[in-house]
Structure 1
Amino acid sequence: MNNLPSALRALRHRNFRCYFIGHAISTLGTWIQQVALAWLVYRLTGSVALLGLTTCMALLPQLLVGPFAGAWIDRHDKRRLLILVESLLGLQALVLALLTAGDWVTPTLLVAMATLMGVLNALDTPLRQSLLSQFVDDRADLPNALALNAMLFTSSRFIGPPLAGLLLGVFNEALCFALNGASYLALVVGLLLIRITPTARAGGSYRNVLGEGLRYALGNRQVRSMMLSVLAINVSASSYVVLLPVFARDIFAGGATTLGWLWGAAGLGSLLSTVFLASRLAVDSLPRLILAASCATALALLVFAWSDLLALSLAAMAVIGFGITVSNVGTNIVLQSNAPEALRGRIVALYTSIRFGFDAIGGLLAGLLAARLGAPPVLAAAGVILLGYCIWLGQRPRATAEPDKSPAASADD
């Protein structure tokens, strides 16, 4: 493993390899389920608003639970918690498969199951992200580990949706849910094989632990600026996910296979972005790159919104996937590279709560507005809003990292 290229250097660490293989299988199952759930909701109801509500409830708990989960995570053994949460996610998927196979699903039940998944993901995402620093023995390899972790997500996003489209065309949604449930076993096994020394847990009252993390985030100008950018791109650009089934069926006169190709094109762009980020060694240049990627995303949204050519729309989807992922993953790399170890769980939880929470809010708004105005105008408006934010941000002085004055940071340094 010592001969691996620089872009894969984090895989030299045994613990990270165990996690990487298990998470690769689990993430592929997650994307298959996401496409199947969206198609099931739209097939049963034909409601764009319900699509937005379902997507929102799968993500909104990240915003509501995430900041509080971070303080809780830093007070407990992260690996044991993650094994428990992954097991519950697998059980949720298997129950959903059983309900679908038995024809017992209703719109209300689907929203409830999406909400349960969202609550579990509000714990799962910051747990996994905050543990990555313990899976690599050299802190210098942490940015590469974060990029490779994101590459798993994006490569599965490229492969999973088209595969889900094929499975839906031949079988049904229940099989997709069952495959996802089984996929969590791989990550649980990988986590059981990992050998790490638990880090010191945060002491003091829960309120003080939570307040310490918030003071760090609000007191650091670079953290504030990057969190705002994450909010902007996810509340606007990420809303495309909710509207894709509408474009697939109503604009391109297709079905589940067309939806899979559109989602796969965005996944290809995301995959290329993580390959690009994994090959980079400098963290300092990422804020400028994030701004450029956000501008490209805004322009691609405008192209996709008004295109009725599938080939052009697939290309626009690839650019959108590339830009959103560069923004989100690049921000995560900068935040985790600079965050004190003692505060890592809380900073990651705050980032993920904004990342997925405002993704949920944007998706809900997009679904409600599209039900009245149509999908193309709503997606075009999202592009205009994001472009306006990029112009405003580009005119501001660039935020630089500030030294942290918190006691935890001083001890960590």
Structure 2
Amino acid sequence: MLAAVSNFASETFSALRVRNYRLYFIGQGISLSGTWMSTIGQAWLVLKLTESGTALGLVSAFQYLPVLLLGPLGGVVTDRFPKRKLLYFTQGAFCLLDLILAILVVTGKVQLWMVYSLALCFGLLVAVDNPTRQSFVHEMVGSKFLRNAVTLNSMEINLARVIGPALAGVLIASVGMASCFFINSFSFLAVLICLFLMRSKDLHPIPPIRQFKGQLSRGFAYMWKTPVIREVLIMMAIVGTLTYEFQVSLPLIAKYTFHGNARTLALLTSATGIGSVLGGLFTASRGKAGTFWVAWASLGFGTAILAVSVLPTLALAATAMVIVGIFSIAFNSLGNTTLQLECTPEMRGRVMSLWAVTFIGSNAIGGPVIGWVGEHADPRWSLALGGIAAIVAGVYGLISSKKAYSKIDLAVETA
């Protein structure tokens, strides 16, 4: 029994044996908790200023539009410059943006256009930061521990989703919203310190590519000609646009369906995080990836969200959000791992930038749509629409993987 438990723990946390990744994991854990506090604070700030689901969706659009439009260019930047140095810049800039918002809120000067402007600046940084962080994981752990490290990253994000919103709910009610933004600003210092403490000799850097004409178009062409990468990105584009809109749908559900407050939103968000941590522990110890498994995770994700959209009480909805979290991390980590293992090293930055476009940038389109649906139809429909989208993506993935297997079988028979 003890041997089985020891083996499970060893497999589940194997990437943490790497010192540099261990430092990165610590820094990210602190920073991500602060980020989730800021996310809850920003959503409640916008609802306080406007009482509008559409406005909440527009903040999401401003925040992620740069990723949608400039994400592929961010991937080119990632491939052309040392990733550790890029992270010094982006993390420092994030620190400054949240400090500005905190000061605006605490002084009572904040207006909606200011929140929009800061969200836009945030998105510009994410367009570079996200593919850089995704690619930097491979430089820290190599191919051997990549799948485990990607899953641990996703699990950590969702553990922060438990801690951050819970703290935010308490702080907003007792101290005020500005505290969320101050804490998030200072949390980025943890990442900067951990980056500084890393040993350069233990990294596995990919030499930056030279600048030449057509780097961006080559990335698109490579993605389209590689079936596994193409299918996973199409699935994420569908799910990212309409399903991963919890920063819009959950505040509306919390306030208008269950007539709650910031603590209600924190409960729903934290429940999702708890499920993601549980799902991450399971996924991290498994070695399977590929279009087929991503598709099944998407089907489970969509079905769980549809269940939440019809449940009558907050307690039942929060319980079901745990299941949503389990399938969410499975879909996310399996898709991310599949892409990184399938692509060539010199294309990794550009491929992961397209992952950022479909996962994060698509919120610029989906956020206003989900916000409008939640405001003018019903908040429950804002969740249901996302559930339907995930099921559609899962069906598409299963059909695509079946066709791929059929081609392989035909090739074997022909040979």
Task: For 1:193 and 1:144, locate their aligned partners in 2 and report how far apart those are by CA, in whole Å.
Answer: 22
Partner of 1:215 in structure 2? 221
> Residue 248 of structure 1 contacts residue 258 of structure 1 at CA under 8 Å; is this kept in 2?
yes
Question: Does residue 5 in structure 1 map to residue 31 in structure 2?
Answer: no
Q: What is the CA-CA distance between 1:291 and the residue it aligns to?
A: 1.8
Task: For 1:294 and 1:113, locate their aligned partners in 2 and report how far apart those are by CA, in whole Å.
Answer: 32
**Partner letter of residue 192 of structure 2?**
V
Distance 1:212 1:391, change over 3 A: closer
Partner of 2:359 in structure 1? 355
Q: How do 1:223-372 residues align onto structure 2 when only pairs under 5 Å count?
A: 223-283=229-289, 286-372=290-376
Partner of 2:159 in structure 1? 155
Equivalent residue in structure 2 for 1:57, among 51, 59, 62: 62
Partner of 1:199 in structure 2? 206
Q: How do 1:380-399 residues align onto structure 2 when only pairs under 5 Å count?
A: 380-396=384-400, 397-399=402-404
Partner of 1:38 in structure 2? 43
1:294-343 Cα offsets, whole Å, 9 max, x none, are 11222222222222211221122222222222212211101111221111
1:120-148 Cα offsets, whole Å, 9 max, x none, are 11211111111111112x42111111111
> Residue 202 of structure 1 contacts residue 209 of structure 1 at CA under 8 Å; is this kept in 2?
no
Distance 1:15 1:398, change over 3 A: farther
Distance 1:282 1:297, change over 3 A: closer
Task: For 1:183 and 1:273, locate their aligned partners in 2 and report how far apart those are by CA, in whole Å.
Answer: 26
1:268-306 Cα offsets, whole Å, 9 max, x none, are 1222222222111233xx433322221122222222222
Q: What is the CA-CA distance between 1:60 and the residue it aligns to?
A: 2.2
**Partner letter of residue 385 of structure 2?**
A
Equivalent residue in structure 2 for 1:116, among 113, 121, 126: 121
The Cα RMSD (Å) is 2.0
Distance 1:340 1:385, change over 3 A: closer
Question: Does residue 134 in structure 1 map to residue 116 in structure 2?
Answer: no
Task: For 1:21 and 1:398, locate their aligned partners in 2 and report how far apart those are by CA, in whole Å.
Answer: 42
Q: What is the CA-CA distance between 1:234 and the residue it aligns to?
A: 1.6
Distance 1:189 1:385, change over 3 A: closer
Task: For 2:210 and 2:373, locate their aligned partners in 1 and report how far apart those are by CA, in whole Å.
Answer: 46
Task: For 2:194 and 2:389, locate their aligned partners in 1 and report how far apart those are by CA, in whole Å.
Answer: 42
TM norm structure 2: 0.91
Q: What is the CA-CA distance between 1:160 and the residue it aligns to?
A: 1.1
Distance 1:385 1:124, change over 3 A: closer
> Residue 64 of structure 2 contacts residue 123 of structure 2 at CA under 8 Å; is this kept in 1?
yes
> Residue 370 of structure 1 contacts residue 378 of structure 1 at CA under 8 Å; is this kept in 2?
yes
SS across alignment from 2:362: helix
Equivalent residue in structure 2 for 1:71, among 65, 70, 76: 76
Task: For 1:63 and 1:194, locate their aligned partners in 2 and report how far apart those are by CA, in whole Å.
Answer: 32
Distance 1:259 1:11, change over 3 A: same
> Residue 251 of structure 1 contacts residue 308 of structure 1 at CA under 8 Å; is this kept in 2?
no
Task: For 1:388 and 1:129, locate their aligned partners in 2 and report how far apart those are by CA, in whole Å.
Answer: 27
> Residue 297 of structure 2 contacts residue 331 of structure 2 at CA under 8 Å; is this kept in 1?
yes
Q: What is the CA-CA distance between 1:398 and the residue it aligns to?
A: 4.8
SS across alignment from 1:140: coil
SS across alignment from 2:109: coil
Identify the range of structure 1 (99-108 vs 246-255) with the bigger mean alpha-carbon deviation. Answer: 246-255
**Partner letter of residue 16 of structure 1?**
Y
**Partner letter of residue 12 of structure 1?**
R
Q: What is the CA-CA distance between 1:211 and the residue it aligns to?
A: 2.4
Question: Does residue 374 in structure 1 map to residue 391 in structure 2?
Answer: no
Partner of 1:409 in structure 2? none
Task: For 1:378 and 1:151, locate their aligned partners in 2 and report how far apart those are by CA, in whole Å.
Answer: 25
Identify the range of structure 1 (190-199 vs 54-63) with the bigger mean alpha-carbon deviation. Answer: 190-199
SS across alignment from 2:287: coil
> Residue 304 of structure 1 contacts residue 316 of structure 1 at CA under 8 Å; is this kept in 2?
yes
Equivalent residue in structure 2 for 1:82, among 68, 84, 87: 87
Q: What is the CA-CA distance between 1:392 and the residue it aligns to?
A: 4.3
> Residue 291 of structure 2 contacts residue 397 of structure 2 at CA under 8 Å; is this kept in 1?
no
Q: Give the length in aligned residue pairs.
A: 397
**Partner letter of residue 272 of structure 2?**
A
**Partner letter of residue 348 of structure 1?**
M
Question: Does residue 164 in structure 1 map to residue 168 in structure 2?
Answer: yes
% same residue:
33
Task: For 2:399 and 2:217, locate their aligned partners in 1 and report how far apart those are by CA, in whole Å.
Answer: 32
Task: For 1:395 and 1:44, locate their aligned partners in 2 and report how far apart those are by CA, in whole Å.
Answer: 45
Task: For 1:100 and 1:204, locate their aligned partners in 2 and report how far apart those are by CA, in whole Å.
Answer: 43
Partner of 1:185 in structure 2? 189
Unaligned ranges ≥5, structure 1: 403-413
Partner of 2:410 in structure 1? none
Task: For 1:352 and 1:260, locate their aligned partners in 2 and report how far apart those are by CA, in whole Å.
Answer: 25
Q: What is the CA-CA distance between 1:369 and the residue it aligns to?
A: 2.4
> Residue 373 of structure 2 contacts residue 381 of structure 2 at CA under 8 Å; is this kept in 1?
no
Task: For 2:206 and 2:291, locate their aligned partners in 1 and report how far apart those are by CA, in whole Å.
Answer: 30
Task: For 2:101 and 2:296, locate their aligned partners in 1 and report how far apart those are by CA, in whole Å.
Answer: 40
Distance 1:295 1:9, change over 3 A: same
Unaligned ranges ≥5, structure 2: 1-5, 408-415
Task: For 1:399 and 1:155, locate their aligned partners in 2 and report how far apart those are by CA, in whole Å.
Answer: 36
TM norm structure 1: 0.91
> Residue 217 of structure 1 contacts residue 223 of structure 1 at CA under 8 Å; is this kept in 2?
yes
Partner of 1:407 in structure 2? none
